[in-house]
Amino acid sequence: MRLIATVGVATLACALIAATHVAASGSPATQVWRDTTHHTSRFITVARGVKLHTLDFGGAGPPLVFLAGLGNTAHAFDDFAPAFTDRFHVVAITRRGFGESDHPASGYDTARLVADIKAVLDTLGFDRVSFVGHSIAGEEMTRFAAMYPARVDRVVYLDAAYDRVRGVRLMDEDSVRAPRTETIVAPRAADTASEAAYVAYVRRSRGVAIPEADIRMRFRHDGWREEATHAYQAVAVETPPYARVQAPALAIYAVDDASDELYALLRDEFRRGVAKGQVLEIHGAHHWIFISHRARVLAAARAFLLGATRP
């Protein structure tokens, strides 16, 4: 399922939701596996009773903050974020309701999620940052850049810059054909018998090597029927305030030529709306574009973040 997801009571035009996982505490895979990525874990209080899990990948230079897609964790960037530490101080955040972050009953509207990000940045002493965000993180990055322009240097959208509200409206009105959806075979009992088995299932069924720690953390904390959880259902979307984004922004899109009518309209909306916006379209890319086309995305994102005018 690439574009359509159910969040709350609304059907949203959003990107592919990565795998969800069932706990298997005490299994041999849980006891043996170690996360060998070089990063430091930290929990930061963002509201009463709510702590967010962050990963500090290290590095020297201006802060660069990674935000994961819906259902994913900071570990989604374990294989990508370290490629920026030579020029940036790199941190990734897991939003509330997922993975190792706290799972409160409320606070899943965009305004609250943006407030959470601001609280993390304040705690870390980051006055001005650049963002890289995947999928539904586009909602948070756009709102943050609109609300706090002085705190945002640059923004990179990884298949994330979509007006999901408009996308649903256009489909409901039959103005455009609904995009092709991806069919993912449900896991068998054997696929959920251990963390290791589920890692293999997720990678096999999604067709990309999603970082193992991301799969395992959600396996432990969120359950493999994650789409039915409160947090997953409660995360909201809004019409993106593109016109208020003052920072330079690069939207890197995965383009499916066989199912592109709606996406093309939404890409054009970003082009028209963001004054300093740039677009890079990669045809045939997976929604996890920074995995399927890592070298190209990495080169474009680095050049843009370091000040190049075009990707």
Q: 3-class SS at 24?
A: coil
Largest CA distance in the chain: 53
- Cα 175 versus chain centre, distance: 28
Residue 248: predicted pLDDT: 98
151 vs 145: CA distance, rounded Å: 8
pLDDT per residue, tens digit, the chain (311 aa), is: 333 333 332 333 333 333 333 333 334 344 589 999 999 999 999 999 999 999 999 999 999 999 999 999 999 999 999 999 999 999 999 999 999 999 999 999 999 999 999 999 999 999 999 999 999 999 999 999 999 999 999 999 999 999 999 999 998 887 787 787 778 889 999 999 999 999 999 999 999 999 999 999 999 999 888 788 899 999 999 999 999 999 999 999 999 877 778 999 999 999 999 999 999 999 999 999 999 999 999 999 999 999 965 54
pLDDT at residue 256, rounded to an integer: 87
Residue type, 89: H
Alpha helices in the chain (DSSP H): 28-32, 110-124, 137-147, 164-172, 195-206, 212-221, 230-234, 261-273, 289-292, 294-305
Residue 184 phi, psi dihedral angles, 5° rounding: -115, 120
Q: Cα dist. 134→49, 137, 191, 196, 296 in Å?
A: 27, 5, 26, 25, 16
How far is it, in rounded angstroms, from Cα 157 to Cα 42?
25
- The set of residues, in sequence order, having a beta carbon less than 8 Å from that of 99 and lying 6+ positions away, is 53, 72, 73, 74, 75, 214, 217, 218, 221, 222
Three-class SS state of 240: coil
Say if CB 39 and CB 55 are below 8 A apart: yes
Take residue 220 and report the two structure tokens written for it: 């432990």
Contact (Cβ atoms closer than 8 angstroms) between residue 209 and residue 292: no
Contact between 176 and 262 under an 8 Å Cβ cutoff? The reply is yes
Domain residue ranges in the chain: 4-305
Domain 4-305 in this protein, CATH class:
alpha beta
Q: Which residues pair with 89 in a beta bridge?
A: 63
pLDDT at 31: 56
Give the span between the Cα atoms of 23 and 217, in whole angstroms.
9
Burial of 289 (0-12, 13-18, 19+ CB in 10 A): buried
Q: Residue 88 and residue 82: Cα distance in Å, rounded?
A: 10
Q: Are 84 and 47 in contact (CB under 8 A)?
A: no
